[in-house]
Every structure is written in C-alpha cells, then in structure tokens.
C-alpha cells in the first residue's frame, strides 16, 4: 500500500473513531429512568437507569455532565422529594437543561423545579395537572424555553391557560396546538390595540352618541305615550 493510501486510511479511521466517540458522548449525558415503573422518587435509589450514564457519586466529580433527565412513562404522582433525590443522584443540578416527566400522574407542580436553574425544556404532558396556579409557579424558571402541557386536565381551560401562562416560555404545547412566545406577544399587542381603539371610539363619539341615544329613547317614550291615546 502506498504512503498516500496509508495516510488516507488512517485519516478515515481517525474520523470514524471521533464520530463514534462523539456519538457516545451525546448518549452519555442522559440519565434515563423512563418506563421503570417508578411510583415515587425514592425508588430511584434502588433502580438503575435504562440507558445513558449511571448515577453519579457526589464524592467524585464525573467526567460527563448529565444534562437530560428522563422520568417519563412511570407512576410518579408528586414532585415533593424530587430535589432531595436528585441532589444525591447527580453531581451538579445546575447543568440540567431538559426534564421529561410526561405520562405520569402528577396533579401539582410546586416549586421543585427551581433547583434546576438552567432548565430549558420541560415535558409535563400526559399528567393530571388541573389548576392554572400550579403552572404559573413555573414563572420562576428564567431559562424555560419549551413547556408541554397537552393531555392534562388543564386543557379544559385552554383559553385561560394561554392568557395566564402563554408568556412563560418561547414555545407552549397545549391541546393539539403549538404556541410560540412570538404568537403570544402578537396576540397581546392586538388585544391591547383593540381595547385602546374601543376606548378612543367612545371618547370621540360621546358628544354625539349619548345625545343621539337620549333622543331615541325620548322619541320612543313619546311614541308609547301617544299610542295609548
């Protein structure tokens, strides 16, 4: 084999090795407890993840940061002990950017997610959340970009949901629709403009509209009076 061919072969093998390494790195930043039949957060202490990296020991700094947590398709009904469990499972909570808790039995949200300051994607669809005040608690997450809520009982209040929490993130998934922060901002501007022009209309026509209305009412009264004669 010529020197050029050998060099080309080595370059190809090197690129393939880098690609495999990169692929492994992408997978290894996910801690996956999905479809594990978890009924409470304490079950994680005795459960091993399905894929991705293993649980991290707090006493030893890991070489890989866990940025994605998957707890979807379990039977978790409360978020109450989540922070305490994650603190003994992960080395650094501040690097977590995505949490999938879809298809569980969550009825409330609380303030548990504030322990993840850089959380950007949160999947809560397919749960039992039914109160807007619970969703509004997520307003404390400054970096939240995507929030999914479809499949919750809160869909019955979809109109109110958009008005109350539409500005919490850049993309809100509810019902069969996807609402972006840009859409919500445009809707808010249109609503404010409609209120302004309605007020302006009544203010400009008050000098003619009110006397005209009074005149019509007066003529009606006169008509009714003479109709009885």
CB crowding 202-212: b at 16 or more within 10 Å, else e: eeeeeeeeeee
User: Each residue of 2-34: pLDDT tens digit?
Assistant: 555 555 555 555 554 444 444 444 446 999 999
User: Each residue of 139-186: pLDDT tens digit?
Assistant: 889 999 889 988 888 765 555 555 556 556 667 766 545 555 454 555
Burial class (CB within 10 angstroms; exposed 0-12, middle 13-18, buried 19+) of 121: middle
Q: Of the candidates 147, 151, 154, which has an alpha carbon nearest to the alpha carbon of residue 129?
A: 154
pLDDT at residue number 215: 64
pLDDT at residue number 50: 85
Q: Structure pTM?
A: 0.66
Rg value, the chain, Cα: 29
User: Each residue of 64-86: pLDDT tens digit?
Assistant: 889 999 999 999 999 999 999 99
Non-local (6+) Cβ contacts of 82 within 8 A are: 41, 112, 115
Residue 73: count of CB within 10 angstroms of its CB? 17
Q: Of the candidates 122, 160, 113, which has an alpha carbon nearest to the alpha carbon of residue 140?
A: 113
Most confident of 15-19, 47-51, 91-95, 197-201: 91-95
pLDDT at residue number 25: 41
Residue 98: count of CB within 10 angstroms of its CB? 19
């Amino acid at each position: 084999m010529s020197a050029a061919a050998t060099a080309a072969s080595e370059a190809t093998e090197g690129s393939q090795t880098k690609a495999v390494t990169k692929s492994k790195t992408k997978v290894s930043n996910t801690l996956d407890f999905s479809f594990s039949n978890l009924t409470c957060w304490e079950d994680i202490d005795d459960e091993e993840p399905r894929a991705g990296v293993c649980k991290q020991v707090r006493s030893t700094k890991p070489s890989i940061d866990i940025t994605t947590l998957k707890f979807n398709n379990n039977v978790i009904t409360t978020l109450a002990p989540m922070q305490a469990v994650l603190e003994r499972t992960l080395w650094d909570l501040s690097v977590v950017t995505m949490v999938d808790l879809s298809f569980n039995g969550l009825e409330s949200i609380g303030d548990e997610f504030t322990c993840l300051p850089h959380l950007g994607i949160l999947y809560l669809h397919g749960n039992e959340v039914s109160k807007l005040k619970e969703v509004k608690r997520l307003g404390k997450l400054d970096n939240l970009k995507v929030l999914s809520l479809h499949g919750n009982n809160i869909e019955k209040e979809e109109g109110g949901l958009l008005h109350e929490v539409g500005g919490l993130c850049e993309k809100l998934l509810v019902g069969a629709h996807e609402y972006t922060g840009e859409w919500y901002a445009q809707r808010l501007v249109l609503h404010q403009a409609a209120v302004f022009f309605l007020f302006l209309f009544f203010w400009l026509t008050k000098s003619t509209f009110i006397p005209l209305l009074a005149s019509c009412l007066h003529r009606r009264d006169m008509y009714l009076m003479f109709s009885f004669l």
